Structure 1
Amino acid sequence: MNLQTIRAELRQFLQLAIPLAAAQVAQAAVGFVDTVMMGRLGPEPLAAGGLASALFQFILATASGAVMAVSPLVAEAQGAGKDYKIAAIARQGLWLSVLLGLPVMVIIGQLANVMPALGQSATTIALARNYWDAVLWGIIPGLGFAMLRGYVAALGQTRIILPLVLLGTLVNGIGNYLLGYGQFGFPRLELTGLGLSSALGLWVMFLGLLAYTGWQPDLRRYPFWQHWRLLQPTICRQILQLGWAIAITVAVEFGLFTIITILMGAIGVEALAAHQTVSQTIILIFMVPLGCSFAMTARVGWWFGRQDGPGARRSGLVGISAIAIWMLLPSSALLFFPRAIVGIYVDLSDPANAGLLALALPMLRIAAFALVLDGVQRVAMGALHGLQDTRIPLLLSLVAFWGVGVGSSALLGFQLGWGSTGLWIGQSLGVAIAGGLFLRRFLRLTQRLNQQFPLQAPLTTHS
C-alpha cells in the first residue's frame, strides 16, 4: 500500500463513517438523556430503568443483526454491477423487519416474568415492567431503521442519517420532559413516559428514512416500495443465511454487557446504579466504532463485490487503524476526569451518592484501558461482515465474550470476591480477546483473497 492509496481509502471511509458514527452517537444520546432523567427520579428508578433500557437495547440490537445482512449484500451487488438485485434485497429486508418485529414485541412484553429468577428485586421488576410495556412499540420501526440505514450506507448515501437521528433524539427528549416529569399539563408517567418517548423517536427516524429513499434521486433508482407486497422467499433466505449469524454474534457481544448488568443487580441496587452511570458513558463512546463498523462493512463489501482482494484488505486495515487512534481520546478523558463524568448523572455533593461514586471510579479506570481494543474488535467485525464471513466470527465471539468475558467476570466478581470491579475486569478481558481474534481472522481471509483476486481495480467511489 502506498501513501496515496491509503489517503484515498481513508477519505472514502470517513465520508461514510463520520455521518454514521455521528448518528450512532446521537442515537445513543437517547439512552444518555433517559439515564440522566432516571437519575433525577431517584436511585431505584435509575437502577430499574438502566436494567430495562439495557435489555431492550440488547434485544433490539440482536434482532437488528438479522436485517443488517442487507448492507453487505447490497454493497456486493453494486460492486459487482448487479444493480437489478438491489431493490429486491431492500424490499425483503423491510418485510423481515416486520415479520421479526412481531415476536420480538411479545418477548419484551414477557421480560418482567423472568426477572425474579435472575435475582432482581420486586421494586426493580415493577419499575422495569412499566418501561418495557411502553418501549416495545418501538421495535418494528427500530428494525426498519436499522435495515434502511445499512441499505443507504451500502449505496454511499449516509448524509441523511444524522439529521434524522437528531430529530428522533429531540422528539425523545421533549417526550421525556413532558411525559416523564409531567410538565405542561401532561401526566407524570416516569419510566412509562420515558419508554413511550423512546418508541416515538424510533418511529420518527424510520418513517423519515423511508420517505428519503423515495425522494433522493440516487436512491429513487431502486423503488423497492413500489412492489412492497411482493414477498420473495429466496431472497429472504439469502438475507437470513447471513443475518442469523450476525444476529447471534451481536447477541453474544451485547449479551456480555447485559449479563454483567444483571450480575450487578444481584450485587445490589447501588452497584447497579454505579454500573449504569459508567456503562451509559461507554455506550455513548462505543457508538463511534459501531457507526464506523457499518461503514467498514459497506467499503469492504464493495471491494469484495469487485473481486479485489488488495482493495478489501487495504480498506479494512485503514478503518481499523483509524478507529484505534481515535479511541485514545475518550480513553484519556475517562482516566483524567472520572469524577466529572459520574457527576453528569448524580449529585456528587449529596452524601447519599458517596457509595455510588466509590464504586463507579474504578469501573471508569478499567473501561479507559479497554476502549481502544473495544473499538478495534467492533470495526474488525464489520470488515468480516463485508467479506460475508459470519459463522466463524460467531464462534470466535462465543469464545471471547462468553468464554473469557462472562467466565472471568463470574470468577473475579463472585468467586474471588472482587465485586463490581471484578465484573468490569472480566468484561474488559473478553473485549480484548475478541479484538485480537477478529483482527487475526480478517488478516487471514484477506491474504487468501489476495491470492484468489490479485488484480486491483481502480480506487473510486461506490455511490
Structure 2
Amino acid sequence: MPKDRQGIPEELGSEWLSALRACWRLSAPLAAAEMAQTATTFIDAMMMGWLGEETLAAGALGTVLVHFVITVSSGIVSALSPLVAMAYGARKLNQMGSLTRQTLGLAILLGILGWIPLWYGEPLLLALGQSGSTAALASTYLRAISWGLVPALAFAVLKNLVTALSRPRPVMLVMLGGTLLNSVGNAVLMFGWFGFPELGLAGIGWSSTFSFGALAVAMGLYVLRQPQFQGFQIFWPVQGGQGSHWGDLLRIGLPVGGLVAVEFGMFAATALLMGTLGTTPLAAHQMAIQTAAVAFAVVRGISYGATVQVGQQRGAANRPGTRAAGWAALALGSVFMLGVAAGFWFFPEGIVALFLDIRDAANQPVVEYTCRLLGVAAVFQWVDGGQVIAAGALRGLKDTRIPFLIGILAYWGVGLPSGYWLGFGLGMGGFGLWWGLALGLTVAAVILTVRFAQLTR
C-alpha cells in the first residue's frame, strides 16, 4: 500500500487504522495518568467518608471549589499542548522552549490568583448558602490545599509539553507515584500516625499539597535529564529575539478555561443545590460524582490524545490524517463509555460499598440515593465522553472560541435551567438536577461533534 514520506497511508481506510493505532498508543497512558489523578480525588472522598458523613459533606464542598480553580487554570495553560503539537508536526522546534517558559509564567500568575478564593473559602461558602459548621470545616481543607496550587499548575504545563511530543508514559508513571504518595499522606496526616499531628480533613488538604509539589519536581527532573528537552532551555530566562507567545496562549487558552468553567460550573452549581436539599443528597452526590469522575478521567485522557494527534496532523498539513485522528478518538471513547454505563446500571451497590458500609441500616438512605443517581449517570456516560473528546479534537485545530460559546448554551442555557426546573419545579429533587446534567451534556456532545465534522470535511 503506497505511503507518503512520513509513513502515513494514503488510502482513507488505512488512514483510519493508522489513526486508531496512534490514538490507542498515545491515549492509553494518558488515560491511565488521568485515572491516577482522579483516583487521588476518589481516594480523598473515600477517606473523608471514614471521618463521618458530616466531614464527607464538608469535603464535597471544598473539593468542588478546589477542582473548579484547578481545572479552569489547567484549561488555560493547556493552550501549550496544541501549539507545541503543531510546531512539532511542522518541525518548528525552535518555538517549543519559549512557548513552555512563557506558559510556566502564566501558570504561576494563575496560581497566585487562584489562591485567593481557596484561602477565603469559608465566607464564600457562607455567601452561597451553606451552613456555618460545614463551611468552617471545609475551610480547614481549602486553606491547606491552597498552597499546592502553583506546583499543580506547573506540573500541568510540563505534562502538556511532554504529551505534545508523544511521550505519555513518563506522565503516567509520575502521576501513579503521586497517587500513592497522596494516599499514604492522607492516612498519616488524618489520623496522626508516626508522631504527626492528627489533622482530620485538613490533613487530606496538606497531603494533596505535598503530592502536587512532588509531581512538579518529578516532571521537572525528567525534562531536565532528557536530551530531547535540553535544547529547549525551559528553566532558563527567556532569550531576546524569540518573541512573545502570550497572545497565542491567551487566545487559545482563555476560551478553553472558559469552556471548562461553564461545564464545571454546571456541576458545581448542582453540588451547591444538592447541599440545600440536605446532608444525605449531598453525600450521595459526592459519591456518585466521584465515581463518574473516575470513568470520565479515561475519556479526558483520550481527549488530550485527540488534541495532540489532531494538532500534529494539522501541523503536518495532512487533512485526511487530521480528520481521522478526531474520529478515531471519538470511536475509542464511545466504546469505553458504553462499558462504563453498563457497570453503573448493573452494579451500583458494589460501587457504593467502596465508600460506606452498605449493611449498616443507618446508611441505607444515602446508599439508596446514590444507587439511583448512578442509574442516571449510566444514561449520560456516552454523551459525556463524546462532548469532551470532540472539544479536545477541536482544540487540536486551535478552535476554542466557538466551543466556549457552545458550552455556555449547552451547560447554562439547557443543563442547569432544566435541572433546576426538574429538581425544584417538578419536585424531583436531586434526581431532577442530574437529569438536567444529562440534557446539557447531550446538547454539547451533538453540536461539538457536528462542528468537528464540518471543519474537517
Residue of structure 2 equivalent to 1:317:
327
Percent sequence identity is: 39
For residues 322-347 of structure 1, give each alpha carbon's deviation from its aligned partner in whole angstroms, at most 9, with x where no partner exists: 11011111111111101111111011
User: Which one-letter code corresponds to 2:163 in the other structure?
Assistant: A
Does 2:397 correspond to 1:387?
A: yes
Residue of structure 1 equivalent to 2:146:
136
Question: Are the equivalent residues in 2 in contact too, given 1:92–1:231 (CA < 8 A)?
Answer: no
Candidates 341, 349, 352, aligned match of 1:339: 349
Pick which of 1-10 and 342-351 moved more: 1-10
Distance of 2:435 and 2:302 partners within structure 1: 25
Matches within 5 A, 1:29-48: 29-48=39-58
Deviation at 1:311, TM superposition (A): 1.5
Residue of structure 1 equivalent to 2:7:
none
Residue of structure 1 equivalent to 2:425:
415
Candidates 287, 306, 318, aligned match of 1:308: 318
Pick which of 345-354 and 242-251 moved more: 345-354
Q: Secondary structure of 1:83's partner?
A: coil
Residue of structure 1 equivalent to 2:107:
97
Question: Are the equivalent residues in 1 in contact too, given 2:98–2:238 (CA < 8 A)?
Answer: no
Distance of 1:307 and 1:402 partners within structure 2: 36
Does 2:221 correspond to 1:207?
A: no
Q: Secondary structure of 2:192's partner?
A: coil
Question: Are the equivalent residues in 1 in contact too, given 2:274–2:430 (CA < 8 A)?
Answer: yes
TM-score, normalised to structure 2, is: 0.95
Residue of structure 2 equivalent to 1:452:
none
Residue of structure 1 equivalent to 2:369:
359
Distance of 1:230 and 1:32 partners within structure 2: 45
CA change 1:307–1:212 in 2 (3 A) is same
User: Which one-letter code corresponds to 1:437 in the other structure?
Assistant: I
User: Which one-letter code corresponds to 1:256 in the other structure?
Assistant: M
Pick which of 44-53 and 304-313 moved more: 304-313
Residue of structure 1 equivalent to 2:279:
269
For residues 107-138 of structure 1, give each alpha carbon's deviation from its aligned partner in whole angstroms, at most 9, with x where no partner exists: 21122212122221111101100000000111
Deviation at 1:228, TM superposition (A): 5.6
TM-score, normalised to structure 1, is: 0.94
Residue of structure 1 equivalent to 2:183:
173
Candidates 361, 379, 396, aligned match of 1:369: 379
Distance of 2:12 and 2:90 partners within structure 1: 25
For residues 175-230 of structure 1, give each alpha carbon's deviation from its aligned partner in whole angstroms, at most 9, with x where no partner exists: 10000122222211011100000111111111111111111222233222233688
Q: Secondary structure of 1:417's partner?
A: coil
Distance of 1:404 and 1:438 partners within structure 2: 15
Question: Are the equivalent residues in 2 in contact too, given 1:300–1:383 (CA < 8 A)?
Answer: yes
Distance of 2:383 and 2:400 partners within structure 1: 20
CA change 1:233–1:398 in 2 (3 A) is farther
User: Which one-letter code corresponds to 2:388 in the other structure?
Assistant: R
Q: Secondary structure of 1:225's partner?
A: coil
Deviation at 1:358, TM superposition (A): 2.0
Residue of structure 1 equivalent to 2:8:
none
Matches within 5 A, 1:41-440: 41-227=51-237, 234-440=244-450
Question: Are the equivalent residues in 2 in contact too, given 1:92–1:232 (CA < 8 A)?
Answer: no
Distance of 1:136 and 1:209 partners within structure 2: 21
For residues 162-183 of structure 1, give each alpha carbon's deviation from its aligned partner in whole angstroms, at most 9, with x where no partner exists: 1111111111111100001222
Distance of 1:5 and 1:349 partners within structure 2: 53
Distance of 2:239 and 2:20 partners within structure 1: 40
Question: Are the equivalent residues in 2 in contact too, given 1:167–1:204 (CA < 8 A)?
Answer: no
User: Which one-letter code corresponds to 2:315 in the other structure?
Assistant: G
Distance of 1:289 and 1:228 partners within structure 2: 35
* Aligned length in residues: 447
Deviation at 1:373, TM superposition (A): 0.9
Candidates 422, 426, 445, aligned match of 2:455: 445
CA change 1:228–1:29 in 2 (3 A) is farther
User: Which one-letter code corresponds to 1:193 in the other structure?
Assistant: G
User: Which one-letter code corresponds to 1:330 in the other structure?
Assistant: V
User: Which one-letter code corresponds to 1:199 in the other structure?
Assistant: T
Runs of 4 or more, structure 1, over 3 Å off, are 228-233
Distance of 1:231 and 1:14 partners within structure 2: 39
User: Which one-letter code corresponds to 2:177 in the other structure?
Assistant: L
Deviation at 1:147, TM superposition (A): 1.3
For residues 216-247 of structure 1, give each alpha carbon's deviation from its aligned partner in whole angstroms, at most 9, with x where no partner exists: 22223322223368898831222111111111
Question: Are the equivalent residues in 2 in contact too, given 1:401–1:434 (CA < 8 A)?
Answer: yes
Q: Secondary structure of 2:359's partner?
A: coil
Residue of structure 2 equivalent to 1:24:
34
Distance of 1:10 and 1:219 partners within structure 2: 28
Q: Secondary structure of 2:370's partner?
A: helix
For residues 406-425 of structure 1, give each alpha carbon's deviation from its aligned partner in whole angstroms, at most 9, with x where no partner exists: 01110011111100110111
For residues 371-407 of structure 1, give each alpha carbon's deviation from its aligned partner in whole angstroms, at most 9, with x where no partner exists: 1111111110000000000110000000111111101
Distance of 2:41 and 2:432 partners within structure 1: 25
Deviation at 1:2, TM superposition (A): 3.7
Question: Are the equivalent residues in 1 in contact too, given 2:81–2:307 (CA < 8 A)?
Answer: yes
Question: Are the equivalent residues in 1 in contact too, given 2:147–2:209 (CA < 8 A)?
Answer: yes
Distance of 1:268 and 1:403 partners within structure 2: 26
Question: Are the equivalent residues in 2 in contact too, given 1:144–1:206 (CA < 8 A)?
Answer: yes
Distance of 1:95 and 1:231 partners within structure 2: 18
User: Which one-letter code corresponds to 2:357 in the other structure?
Assistant: D
Distance of 1:310 and 1:13 partners within structure 2: 15
Pick which of 204-213 and 386-395 moved more: 204-213
Distance of 1:308 and 1:11 partners within structure 2: 17
User: Which one-letter code corresponds to 1:394 in the other structure?
Assistant: F
Task: Please list every run of 5 or more consecutive structure 2 residues that lacks an aligned counterpart in the other structure.
Answer: 1-10
